[in-house]
Amino acid sequence: MADPQPRRFRGLPRRRIAGREVPVAEGFGARLLGLALLPARRAGPGLLIPRCASVHTFGMRFALDLIFFTEGAEVVAVRRAVPPNRFTRCRGAASVLEVPLI
């Protein structure tokens, strides 16, 4: 049986974007931690962070693909296989989708 959804994602709205349904990081804990400190098997399909043009991967246990979107949900940039302990940003982005590489 799969691990239950991480507590920080429970009760969050969900959105379909980039072909996947993901939680939307609306709360403080979800925005602050993102997918950090989770084992890859509990990261799920990813996490959409609205009102965000930069992310860090400090505390990550696996690499991420980062997909940056405009306000209208058009892809601005993709950063593939970003390893732990990095900081990345995208000028002009309105949100970012963190997708775990497992």
In this predicted model, what pLDDT tens digit does every residue of 45-101 receive, in sequence order? 999 999 999 999 999 999 999 999 999 999 999 999 999 999 999 999 999 999 998
Mean pLDDT of 15-29: 92
pLDDT interval class at 1 (50, 70, 90): very low
- pLDDT on residue 2: 54
- Among the listed residues 14, 72, 80, 79, the one whose alpha carbon sits nearest the alpha carbon of residue 44: 14
Residue 16 has pLDDT above 70, yes or no: yes
The pTM of the full predicted model, rounded to 2 decimals, is: 0.92
Q: Are 90 and 54 in contact (CB under 8 A)?
A: yes
